[in-house]
Structure 1
Amino acid sequence: MAHGHKPDEKIVYVGDTRVRAKTSRLPQPDFSAYPGKSEVFIPNFLLKEWMVAVVCLVGILVLVMSEAAPLGYPADPTNTAFIPMPDWYFLFMYQLLKYPYASDKFVVFGTVIVPGILFGGLMLAPFLDTGKERRFYKRPITTALMLLSLVAITYLTVVSWSHYQHELKEKNIIPEHIKREQEMHAGKGDSGGGAAKKPAAAAAIVAADDPAAEIYKKSTCLQCHGGELKGMPSSGIPALRGVGDKHSKDEIMGIIKKGQGNMGAQYDANIAKGLTDADINKLAEWLGKQKAQ
């Protein structure tokens, strides 16, 4: 820096405004000096996580292919004995919707608001809990909310499963996937190792041209037992073919008037459909003729 105009004055440069161009990449920093940050996230850490996820996915695929999923019978909207159940990881939500304050008039509260608060809180947790402390016992609010959620989910899941088992026992119902598996194993052959037994042929309809057959088509029996009198055994609705071997005409009339099992009384419903007492009497007599032999 010059202070005068003397030709022999020494000039000192105190700075240089020129920006030098980068000639090489910056060296990779040594992350071992930073606790908890031993490697870069992308791509090193992310690649390791991806490889672990692939191994887990392959394991799940092997389990899926090696063990077939238990399937029930085809969906039947007329089966009133069927008890719907979600997968185990949704049992807590299923149980929550059974309570009065989360169903009926409050169904929006149970299906939208409560899950929205739970998942919304989970998404906002990293932004609300910004403390540097990593030990759980020094983060009381976050830890308390986590433990409360775990206890609530565990309790609702256990209660839901226990209630389901109680319903099955009370109504004497075998779950469809278990019943179907039992039938499949029973159909493979007898215990003696002989050939598989063929199912017995269904009995034919007796007196199909009887006037009572037309009365049957107008009755409420048609809705469940079908036009061919085959019923839906998989849903607990017996076939009416061969029903005369089990019940007499008077017994059938008593079933129509008083009901049996899951079927309620049908007498008044048939009267409401336009049948007379004489028609119902002829119907019971015709059903009593339905015998296998």
Structure 2
Amino acid sequence: MHRGKGMKFVGDSRVPALSERKPNIPKDYSEYPGKTEAFWPNFLLKEWMVGAVFLVGYLCLTIAHPSPLERVADPTDTAYIPLPDWYFLFLYQLLKYTYASGPYNIIGALVIPGLAFGGLLLAPFIDRGPERRPSKRPLATGFMLLAIAATFYLTWESVVTHDWEAAKAQGKIVAEAAIDKESPGYKVYEAQGCIGCHGAELSGGAGGVALLDTNLKPEEVAKIAKEGKGGMPAGIFKGTDEELKQLAEFISTAKSK
């Protein structure tokens, strides 16, 4: 160290000499023979090959098992019972319970799912402990197990309580009927609300049977319209005798193509 003007400090231990600095070079991974490989093209090539195998597998499945198509959507069929995809079945089942449906629909549709997903989003801020073992994190582990159990239970309940036979029948593809929608009989059919159960194409649904090719006489149709039959209660038809005659003749002559 030289004192006076132009003072200089040499070899200060707090500041490493520039000549001693080492460049920030990562480890030489050649010291791990057989355990490393180049990202391009070796690693990516393996990933693409595995992805290609799965893609071909999925394509084979779609060819061997085509998607189960249903009939053309009919907005007039109010008796149609929809079924969401499997990953939404637990929410679908939740909305069937008393305090999550009807006037309480907001609870089942927004409040309960909002609390669940909100808790999941806030989990990193609520549980900030350093422990990683599940046994050392009882709250986080407990809530996660509860959520998984509830999801599995609701999904299972939705599957076992769904009427699969009725769902298959209501979605069955039928030939388009040769229906004259401008005829007086169809106008009565539409005005009396028959569409709600039997559909705009008279193909039926979950709430009513198909009215095509019934082979019933007009008198028999009129009797059923007034007195009911099976799941159809009496007194649904509210029209005049002339309208009943038009409706009965229309249904008795309705044929599929």
**Structure 1 residue aligned with 2:67:** 69
Equivalent residues in 2 for 1:141-180 (5 A)?
A: 141-165=139-163, 173=166, 175-176=168-169, 179-180=172-173
Contact 2:94 2:100 survives alignment (8 Å): yes
Measure, in 1, the Cα distance between the counterparts of 2:218 and 2:188: 19
Equivalent of residue 120 in structure 1, options 118, 121, 144: 118
Q: Classify the secondary structure of the residue corresponding to 2:82.
A: coil
For residues 86 and 203 of structure 1, do their structure 2 counterparts lie closer, same or farther at Cα, with a shift above 3 Å needed?
Answer: closer
Contact 1:95 1:156 survives alignment (8 Å): yes
Q: Classify the secondary structure of the residue corresponding to 2:73.
A: coil
Deviation of the 1:82 alpha carbon: 2.4
Measure, in 1, the Cα distance between the counterparts of 2:66 and 2:54: 17
Equivalent of residue 283 in structure 1, options 223, 246, 250: 246
Deviation of the 1:70 alpha carbon: 1.0
Equivalent of residue 104 in structure 1, options 102, 105, 109: 102
Deviation of the 1:94 alpha carbon: 0.6
Matched, 1:51 2:51: no
Structure 2, unmatched stretches of 5+, are none
Matched, 1:246 2:216: yes
Q: Classify the secondary structure of the residue corresponding to 1:151.
A: helix
> RMSD of the alignment, in Å?
4.6
Deviation of the 1:176 alpha carbon: 4.5
Please identify, of 255-264 and 12-21, the stretch whose mean Cα deviation from structure 2 is larger.
12-21
Q: Classify the secondary structure of the residue corresponding to 2:18.
A: coil
For residues 257 and 62 of structure 1, do their structure 2 counterparts lie closer, same or farther at Cα, with a shift above 3 Å needed?
Answer: same
For residues 90 and 97 of structure 1, do their structure 2 counterparts lie closer, same or farther at Cα, with a shift above 3 Å needed?
Answer: same
Percent identical pairs in the alignment equals: 33
Q: Deviations over 1:161-200 (max 9, x none)?
A: 22213xx56xxx25158845xx8xxxxxxxxxxxxxxx9x
For residues 57 and 64 of structure 1, do their structure 2 counterparts lie closer, same or farther at Cα, with a shift above 3 Å needed?
Answer: same
Measure, in 2, the Cα distance between the counterparts of 1:131 and 1:144: 15
Deviation of the 1:283 alpha carbon: 3.2
Contact 2:71 2:172 survives alignment (8 Å): no
Q: Classify the secondary structure of the residue corresponding to 1:82.
A: coil
Larger Rg: 1
Q: Deviations over 1:128-181 (max 9, x none)?
A: 33333332222211111111111111111122222213xx56xxx25158845x
Measure, in 1, the Cα distance between the counterparts of 2:248 and 2:170: 37
Task: Give, as a single letter, the amino acid of the residue that structure 2 aligns with 1:159.
Answer: E
Deviation of the 1:107 alpha carbon: 2.4
Equivalent residues in 2 for 1:259-278 (5 A)?
A: 259-261=228-230, 263-265=232-234, 268-270=237-239, 276-277=240-241
Contact 1:252 1:287 survives alignment (8 Å): no
Please identify, of 107-116 and 12-21, the stretch whose mean Cα deviation from structure 2 is larger.
12-21
For residues 217 and 97 of structure 1, do their structure 2 counterparts lie closer, same or farther at Cα, with a shift above 3 Å needed?
Answer: closer
**Structure 1 residue aligned with 2:26:** 27
Measure, in 2, the Cα distance between the counterparts of 1:86 and 1:134: 36
Deviation of the 1:291 alpha carbon: 9.2
Measure, in 2, the Cα distance between the counterparts of 1:25 and 1:86: 55
Q: Deviations over 1:85-113 (max 9, x none)?
A: 11111111011112232223332322222
For residues 148 and 285 of structure 1, do their structure 2 counterparts lie closer, same or farther at Cα, with a shift above 3 Å needed?
Answer: closer
Measure, in 2, the Cα distance between the counterparts of 1:231 and 1:260: 20
Measure, in 2, the Cα distance between the counterparts of 1:71 and 1:282: 37
Measure, in 2, the Cα distance between the counterparts of 1:221 and 1:55: 53
For residues 269 and 129 of structure 1, do their structure 2 counterparts lie closer, same or farther at Cα, with a shift above 3 Å needed?
Answer: same
Contact 2:71 2:171 survives alignment (8 Å): no
Task: Give, as a single letter, the amino acid of the residue that structure 1 aligns with 2:149.
Answer: V
Structure 1, unmatched stretches of 5+, are 5-10, 33-37, 184-198, 206-212, 271-275
Measure, in 2, the Cα distance between the counterparts of 1:116 and 1:291: 50
Q: Which has the higher contact order (CA 8 A, sep 6+)?
A: 2
